[in-house]
Amino acid sequence: MPTKSSTTSDTEATAAKSNASENNTATENKSEKDSTMKAGNATVVKSEMKNAPLHKFFVDALKDIYYAEEAIVGALEKMQEAATTEELKDAFEDHQLQTKKHISRLEKVFRSIDETPEKKKCDAIEGIIKEGEEVIKSTKEGTMTRDAALIIAAQKVEHYEIATYGGLVQLAITMGHDKAADLLDKTLQEEEDTDYNLTEIAETYINFEAEQED
């Protein structure tokens, strides 16, 4: 029966149309709801992330090394003045410039995780720097012994930095802070290079000549 069939199909078409329009409205409502939920979730995730103990520790450790890098700039100034050889003076000068770069890189790290750069007193670096000052007091000016001792003092600084940055890179990777991880890793590589260069300077002739001094 064509008429009935046509009526049926008209009814079906109308029903389908009405369903489609209901579906459209439902889809619109759903996507609106989804985006509201997404925005809401992002806020929840952000505040949850900021309250997580590991995130707090990470930020605290950044504040610690931010303080340390600033303190190192001042220490290197004194070490450069105290050094005997031009080679070591130059190495300390280069390291000072590099340390200033590390400070501005740390500021980028803070911003990449939506935190404000802040310093927190680092007792460890204060102690290592104090030891470096003792080295200057306890060695004679113009001697190779002073340079040999200053190199070790500077390497203690490097090793503190390497331990800190090495750990922070891994934490940043774990927490998915990719940009922070990249920036911290760049600094870590430079600290390792500086440490290596200091060993080279010591072993080329400074340690040998220091051994000849009486």
State the residues that interact with Fe ion by CB under 5 A: 99, 102, 161, 191
Distance CA 184, CA 69 (A): 13
The residue with its CB nearest to Fe ion is: 102
Work out how close the CB of 190 gets to Fe ion at its nearest, in angstroms, rounded to a whole number.
7
Work out how close the CB of 122 gets to Fe ion at its nearest, in angstroms, rounded to a whole number.
12
Q: Which is nearer to Fe ion, 58 or 165 (CB)?
A: 165
Cβ 140 vs Cβ 40: under 8 Å: no
Distance CA 135, CA 139 (A): 6
| Residue whose pair of structure tokens reads 């927490």 in the numeric block | 175
Distance CA 41, CA 33 (A): 12
Work out how close the CB of 61 gets to Fe ion at its nearest, in angstroms, rounded to a whole number.
14
Q: Which is nearer to Fe ion, 183 or 210 (CB)?
A: 183
Q: How many residues does the chain have?
A: 214
Q: Which is nearer to Fe ion, 65 or 210 (CB)?
A: 65
Work out how close the CB of 188 gets to Fe ion at its nearest, in angstroms, rounded to a whole number.
9
Q: Which is nearer to Fe ion, 84 or 187 (CB)?
A: 187
146: part of which helix (H) or strand (E)?
Answer: helix 144-174
